[in-house]
Structures are given as C-alpha cells and as structure tokens.
Amino acid sequence: MRLTRCLLAAALASAGFAAQAGQPALTRTTSASGLPRAPEQEAVAFERADLAFKVDPARKSLDGDATLTFLASKPIDRLVVDLDSNYRIGLVEVDGKPIAAAHWRNPEGRMTVDLPKPLAAGARAVLRIRYAGHPHVANKAPWDGGFVWATAPTGEPWVATAVQGEGCDLLWPCIDHPQGEPREVIQHVSVPAPLVAAGNGIAEGMDEKDGWRTYHWRAKQPNTYAIALNIGPYELLQGEYTSRYGNTIPLRFWYLKGNKAKAEGLFAEFAPMLDFFEEMIGPYPFADEKMGVVETPHLGMEHQTINAYGNDYKKADAGYDWLLQHEFAHEWFGNQLTHRDWDDFWLHEGFGSYMQPLYLQWLRGDMEYMAALMKQRAALVNKYPVISGRGLPESEVYKPGEGPGNDTYYKGSLTLHTLRGLIGDAAFFRAIRELVYGTATPRPGNFKPRYASTADFIAIVNRITGKDYGWFFDGYLRHAALPELLATRDANGLSLRWKTQDDKPFPLPVQVRVGDRVVDVPMTGGRGHVDLPAGASYTLDPHSKVLRELPHIAEFQKDTAERAKAAMEKARAEAAKK
C-alpha cells in the first residue's frame, strides 16, 4: 500500500541488549527493501518464523527472539537473513547450538551466519537470533518505515509498526524481498497489562504474568512487510460473514476505547465490501483466519488479516471509507497475489486502486464510477514508465526523478479500465481471477497465496482472448507518455491515428460520436477513418473507454502547479515580513 501516500500527495530489551537511545541512521541494506536476494537466500524455502516480541513503550524498546526454519533446495554453507544492524544481537544458534561471534556478521543489515557443517539439498536448519534495542522510528508512517510510539486519547501507550518501504528487517530477521514470504509465522507479543496486541492470522490465546500480557498469533504465508505490531487500549467488535461460497468468515475490529459508536459504523461496512470482492474477484483468501482491522496512529497499511486503519472515521461523498476499502483490496492484490519484484508494484496498487471506482459502480452505477476514474486521470504525471523492465527495490518506485510514484496507482487503474473495455467483462474478470488464484474457478481450499509478474498477467490475457495484447501493455506501462489520438478532418470525413512514444503500431479500437450515432473504428495498424458529413459534429471516445493524452488535463495541471507555487512564494514573503 501506499495509496495513503498518493491520495494525500494528489488532494505516516533486556539490560544485556541495551542499545543507544535516539534515532539511529538506517544502513543502505536496511533502508532498501527488495534488493536482490543473496544466493543463500534464493537456495532456501522459508518454512516458519516463530517470533517473540517484548515491547516496552516506556523505554521505546524491543526485545526480539526469532526462530527461523529453512529448507535447502541446494547445498549451502551459510544462512543469510536481513536484520537492522542497529539492533544488538545477544545470541545466535543453529539447530540449538550457539554460534560464536567470529562465525556471524551483520555489518549493513544483511546478516550472514556460517553453518557448523554444510547443509545438503533437502535438509533443514533452524536459525535462532535474540536481538534487542531501540527500533527505528517512523516519523511519517506509512510514508517512512518503522515504529510509531504514540499515546491514545485516553492516555495509554499506542504503538504500531509499518515497514513496507524500508522492509521487514526493521522488526524481525527476514528475507527482505517480495519472494521471501515464510510459509507460516507465529507471533508471541508481550506488552504491559492491560494493553492489547492485535495480530496477523488466528488468535491462539493470551497469558498474563508479572504485569505483562503475551498474545499468541498464527498466520499462513504473510507478506514480509505485512507482519505488524498493533498495541493499545483496544476494545473488540466481533461478527461473522456468511460467504457466497458457503463458508463463514470471522470479522474483527480492534478500536480505541471511547470510539465504539464510530467503530460500529465502520464495522457495518465490512460485509458489503466482502460481498463486492467475492462477487467481482473471488473468495476471500484468508477466510479460515479472519477479516481483521485495527485502529492505528498512522493512516494505514495492508497488514494481512489485520489491516491498519487510521482515517479517523471520516465521511466522504463516496459514501464509504476509501482507506478501509483500499487496504482490504490488498488482501487479494498484495497478500493473496504478491508481485515477484517491486518493478511489478502496479499488480498491487494499480489493481487495488481500480477497486475503488469499481466498488462505486457496483454500489451505485456508472456515474460515480466514471467520476472516480476522472479524479484519477487528473492526477497522472506520465514522466516515468510504470514498469522499468529491471529489478527494483521498493524505494526506486517512489524515487523523485526516477520512479513512477503515483502513476503506479492511477495509471495502473486506468489501464485496467481501458483493458476491460477492450476485451469485455467476461475475459477481463476471468483474467483477474486467474492472476489472483491461479485458476478461473477458485473455491475455498483449492488455492494458495501465489506470486506473479506483469508478464504472467499478459500471458493470461493473451490465452483467454486468443490474441496478442503485448502492444497494449507496452503502450501504457512501459512508456511514460500516454498514447495520443490524432484526428484530422479531410474531404471525406475524419482521419484518425494513434501516436505513441516509440511510433510502434497501437491498434486500439475507438468510438466516435457522429451526430446522433456512435461509430466503432477498428484502428487497424493504429489508423482509422470515419465518414463525416459536412458540418457534422463529432466526439472522440464519447463513453470515455480509452486512456489517452488529453491536452486540457495537461493545461489544468500546469495552471494548478503555477498557482500553488505562487501561493507558496507569497506565503514565504509574508512570513519574512513578520
């Protein structure tokens, strides 16, 4: 998720382990999520992460004890994990035997542990790391990653983590790459009583001793950055949803004490959203765990089965809470389906962003669907391609002067709108289902979380339609500039031509209104012609099916930017006079 970034940008230990107080600087490896995996990381399957966290809000400290189980697919003599090097490490073990300090190192957040003996293909190793210190603080989560140490309105500690950008290694020893998901994660979260720790997956009880509560959670194959701590004076709303697929889904909402009336209003939105996604996309992927939401001091993040919500229960003209819906969309696009590389980030955010207009169409019809798409269209920048064609860390997607940023969301969404009009609803929604589930007929129990790339989606679309749409995805995702539809009136009517950044053929059909009728133009080879009587008016793409360059949008954006700059300069000048 970082629609939270984009919408706002367009309209967050024991004494033996004590670390230095203050805000430590992030090392390169720690601060970059999604760097290429080490060969040793590629050579293992991450079977289980058993994580114990002791969180002390008074000291703003974390004691961690991680037991990680790996299955080797080829022989290796080292284990490699990522862990913020600002933590102090108190113990390293392999298969229950201590590893001397000379045989492990963690200079830049990529920790290497020499094995006592080589691990053969098909063999397992259990790595245990005890670590502690003052975790990196997120000053503007979820825009930057780390811990959020806040205070609830009623005075109790209120703690959360959001680590998508900088990665899971700010919290636990992991493989900080999209393809580093553990098959199972168990969490034991200890917090001062009477605080509550809401977690990923299934609740497995709570123990209380000596003024501390330990909450136990178990989740299947969560995204690496989806593992989250959520601690506060929470109260709980509970319910059940009877799925159209015949199963029952637990509904859970942890809200701050004192917000019950508002929380009940938001909780009422859970069931309609579930019904929408199950009808349009397919079964809720984590029905055997829960649909969970927790109120957080930061805006939001798609933490699998415990989505962060911090939108302050704001009412919107759309009639639903956009943040809740967008983060919930990521249970399908991000958690069930995970991109293979951050260069394919639009598979999370473009699809997730399209779900908001689509939800409006499902709820209330075409006018609100088109109005929501128009807001997205006005926000496009079109300076950098959505897909670069090379492996990227997460930070480069948002890097000024290099990455697509907001276009990953909105251009991705509008590309899907155009594709839907091109291939029709039946093929479009079947392609999405196959992308998300690996089957066109998903049912609870017949699918598992999966990885995919843009190339995988293109292959699915081509197979379902029996046509090659590589040109379509190249035109929209692999080039910065939008295709431009040129129209020239001639003696016989209207000549049309698609102009693309590389001048390759772009045979996207269009419609033209001529008088009181709409004409379909095939645009074979990227060109077409419409008979046009003398004096007749016309409208290109009268039903707004096609994403294309629009000069009036560019003029609007330029004017808006100039006015904002002038207002800022005026404010600075007035401030200087005081």
Same domain, yes or no, for 292 and 380?
A: no
Q: Coil, helix or strand for 112? A: strand
Rounded to 5 degrees, φ, ψ at 413 are: -60, -45
Same domain, yes or no, for 48 and 63?
A: yes
Instruction: Answer for the pair 369, 358: CB distance below 8 angstroms, yes or no.
Output: yes
Average pLDDT over residues 138-148: 93
Helix residue ranges, H only, 36-82: 39-42
Q: Write the pLDDT tens digit of every residue in 437-489.
A: 999 999 999 999 999 999 999 999 999 999 999 999 999 999 999 999 999 99
Rounded Cα gap, residues 205 and 197, in angstroms: 11
Name the domain boundary from 305, 329, 353: 329
512, 513, 514, 517: CA torsion to nearest 10: 120
Rounded Cα gap, residues 571 and 425, in angstroms: 50
Distances (CA, A) of 349 to 201, 320, 357, 384: 23, 19, 13, 16
Q: Would you say 330 is a known binding-site residue? A: yes
Sign of the CA dihedral with 496 first, then 498, 499, and 502 last: negative
∠ CA 242-248-254, nearest 5°, is 95
Give pLDDT, residue 22.
47
Same domain, yes or no, for 296 and 370?
A: no
Residue 526 included in any domain: yes
Give pLDDT, residue 24.
58
Lowest mean pLDDT among 177-181, 391-395, 415-419: 391-395
Q: Coil, helix or strand for 186? A: strand
Q: Coil, helix or strand for 398? A: helix
- Number of domains composing the chain: 4
Q: Write the pLDDT tens digit of every residue in 360-406.
A: 999 999 999 999 999 999 999 999 999 999 998 998 998 888 899 99
Residue 335 included in any domain: no
48 bridge partner residues: 69
Q: Helices 322-329 and 270-280 meet at what angle, rounded to 10?
A: 40
Same domain, yes or no, for 373 and 403?
A: yes
Q: Coil, helix or strand for 308? A: strand
Q: Write the pLDDT tens digit of every residue in 533-557.
A: 988 999 999 999 999 999 999 999 9
Give pLDDT, residue 528.
97
Give pLDDT, residue 11.
36
Residue 28 has pLDDT above 70, yes or no: no
Structure tokens at 186: 């168990």
Same domain, yes or no, for 241 and 353?
A: no
Give me the DSSP letters along 131-171. Answer: EEE-PPB-TTTTTS-EEEEEE-TTSSEEEEEE-TTT-GGGT
Name the domain boundary from 304, 329, 354: 329
Residue 20 included in any domain: yes
Same domain, yes or no, for 436 and 522?
A: no
Residue 127 included in any domain: yes
Name the domain boundary from 292, 309, 329: 329
Collect all residues with Cβ–Cβ distance below 8 Å to 136 and sequence separation of at least 6: 23, 24, 26, 30, 84, 86, 145, 146, 147, 166, 170
248 bridge partner residues: 242
Give pLDDT, residue 18.
33
Average pLDDT over residues 62-75: 98
Same domain, yes or no, for 195 and 74?
A: yes
Average pLDDT over residues 293-309: 98
Collect all residues with Cβ–Cβ distance below 8 Å to 102 and sequence separation of at least 6: none
Residue 417 included in any domain: yes
Residue 490 has pLDDT above 50, yes or no: yes
Same domain, yes or no, for 471 and 488?
A: no
Average pLDDT over residues 278-292: 98
Q: What is the mean pLDDT of the chain?
A: 94
Residue 16 has pLDDT above 50, yes or no: no
Rounded Cα gap, residues 65 and 219, in angstroms: 18
DSSP at 174:
B
Residue 423 has pLDDT above 60, yes or no: yes
Residue 160 sits in a domain whose CATH number is: 2.60.40.1730
How crowded is the C-beta side of 158, counted as CA atoms within 13 Å? 21
Give pLDDT, residue 459.
98
Rounded Cα gap, residues 81 and 176, in angstroms: 8
Residue 155 included in any domain: yes
Indicate the helix (H) or strand (E) that contains 470.
Answer: helix 470-477
Termini Cα distance of the chain: 41
* Residue that the structure tokens 């995996």 belong to: 37
Same domain, yes or no, for 542 and 555?
A: no
Residue 334 included in any domain: no
Residue 14 has pLDDT above 80, yes or no: no
Residue 298 has pLDDT above 80, yes or no: yes
Lowest mean pLDDT among 211-215, 352-356, 490-494, 496-500: 490-494
Same domain, yes or no, for 316 and 246?
A: yes
Lowest mean pLDDT among 17-21, 261-265, 432-436: 17-21
Structural domain range at position 64: 3-329
* Residue that the structure tokens 């260069």 belong to: 343
Residue 464 sits in a domain whose CATH number is: 1.10.390.10
Residue 10 has pLDDT above 70, yes or no: no
Q: What is the pTM of this model?
A: 0.93
Q: Write the pLDDT tens digit of every residue in 200-258.
A: 999 999 999 999 999 999 999 999 999 999 999 999 999 999 999 999 999 999 999 99
Average pLDDT over residues 91-116: 97
Same domain, yes or no, for 187 and 202?
A: yes
Instruction: Answer for the pair 457, 347: CB distance below 8 angstroms, yes or no.
Output: yes
Q: Would you say 349 is a known binding-site residue? A: yes
CB atoms near residue 444 (< 10 Å): 16
Structure tokens at 236: 């709980």
Residue 21 has pLDDT above 70, yes or no: no
Instruction: Answer for the pair 419, 462: CB distance below 8 angstroms, yes or no.
Output: no
Same domain, yes or no, for 424 and 299?
A: no
